[in-house]
């Protein structure tokens, strides 16, 4: 059976990826910080889908966590989903610098190091895939979060160009608003976000896996978000950035 390693695997899109890939017959390596929650998730997936599930407790904002993830990836996986991430409770200059640096480590350094650990084995077998979960925020100015996700998109595109079609595909997945624990954990008040802008988790997963198979470099799930990104490229950058900065930026 193929094996997928998913970071941030016990909540939100990570948990949705785990369920979908298990239903597709993948054995799983689930990486997250909460050991008890990891073990519950692993047991549920084993019982429901009959696949092997390996829990891996690791905090990707630490050297030890990054090294544990790299060590497991060097043993070989068929699919890596770099999904771990978080939002900040506040805007730039209201957030401690240490928290911003932690975000960069999880969103950027972890994606770089885990991609680098997974690729050699994939290239040797001439097959495999990496999904780096970014965000529609990558295309607009939204503080450190948007900047880190813009880096994920640029990095993923650059890696694909450097690989030059060697049987392995790297893709940035850029969802918009998805109903998960993400906003609650960040203390964001999203009550003013129109219903049209909310995406179903399964739609995001379906679009991402389909686009990975098709060799798409940057996947933007949902027609509404494809339109938003397209229009954002046409209107003045300052106007687009002001609109983006207001959306979902109220904090409880």
* Residue 238 CA: distances (Å) to CA of 175, 244, 250: 22, 10, 20
Q: Looking up tokens 């679009």, which residue turns up? A: 207
Per-residue pLDDT tens over the stretch 72-131: 999 999 999 999 999 887 777 788 999 999 999 999 999 999 999 999 999 999 999 999
* pLDDT above 50 for 174: yes
* pLDDT above 80 for 251: no
* pLDDT above 90 for 210: yes
pLDDT band at 142 (very low <50, low <70, confident <90, very high): confident
Instruction: Kindly list the domain boundaries of the chain, sorted by start residue.
Output: 3-251
Per-residue pLDDT tens over the stretch 10-47: 999 999 999 999 999 999 999 999 999 999 999 999 99
pLDDT band at 252 (very low <50, low <70, confident <90, very high): very low
- For the question of whether the overall pTM of this predicted structure is more than 0.85, the answer is yes
> Which range is least confidently modeled, 21-35, 103-117, 175-189, 198-212?
175-189
Its CATH class, for the domain covering 3-251, is: alpha beta
Q: Which long-range contacts (CB under 8 A, 24 or more apart) does 175-178 make?
A: 175/13, 175/133, 175/135, 175/136, 175/199, 175/204, 175/220, 175/221, 175/222, 175/225, 176/135, 176/136, 176/221, 176/222, 176/224, 176/225, 176/228, 177/248, 178/12, 178/13, 178/204
Q: Average of pLDDT values for 123-150?
A: 94
Catalytic residue positions?
A: 145
Per-residue pLDDT tens over the stretch 60-70: 999 999 999 99
> Which range is least confidently modeled, 7-16, 187-196, 222-231?
187-196
What was the pLDDT predicted at 93? Answer: 73
What was the pLDDT predicted at 180? Answer: 64
What was the pLDDT predicted at 55? Answer: 98
pLDDT band at 189 (very low <50, low <70, confident <90, very high): low
What was the pLDDT predicted at 15? Answer: 96
Per-residue pLDDT tens over the stretch 51-60: 999 999 999 9
Q: Average of pLDDT values for 202-206?
A: 96
What was the pLDDT predicted at 236? Answer: 44
Q: Average of pLDDT values for 241-248?
A: 50
């Amino acid at each position: 059976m193929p094996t997928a390693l998913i970071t941030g695997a016990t909540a939100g899109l990570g948990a949705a990826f785990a369920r979908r890939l298990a239903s597709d017959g993948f054995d799983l390596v689930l990486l997250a910080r909460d050991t008890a929650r990891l073990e519950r998730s692993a047991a549920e997936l084993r019982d429901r889908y009959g696949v092997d599930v390996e829990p891996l407790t690791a905090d990707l904002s630490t050297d030890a966590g990054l090294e544990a993830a790299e060590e497991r990836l060097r043993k070989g996986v068929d699919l890596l989903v770099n999904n771990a991430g978080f939002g900040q409770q506040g805007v730039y200059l209201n957030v401690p610098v240490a928290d911003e640096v932690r975000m960069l480590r999880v969103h950027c350094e972890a994606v770089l190091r885990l991609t680098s650990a997974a690729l050699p084995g994939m290239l040797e077998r001439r097959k495999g895939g990496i999904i780096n979960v970014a965000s529609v925020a990558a295309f607009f100015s939204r503080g450190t979060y948007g900047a880190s996700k813009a880096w994920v998109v640029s990095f993923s595109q650059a890696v694909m160009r450097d690989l030059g079609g060697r049987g392995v595909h790297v893709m940035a997945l850029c969802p918009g608003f998805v109903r998960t624990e993400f906003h609650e954990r960040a203390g964001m008040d999203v009550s003013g976000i129109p219903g049209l802008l909310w995406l179903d988790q399964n739609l995001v997963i379906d679009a991402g896996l389909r686009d990975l198979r098709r060799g798409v470099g940057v996947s933007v799930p949902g027609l509404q978000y494809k339109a938003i990104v397209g229009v954002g490229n046409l209107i003045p950058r300052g106007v687009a950035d002001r609109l983006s900065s207001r959306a979902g930026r109220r904090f409880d």
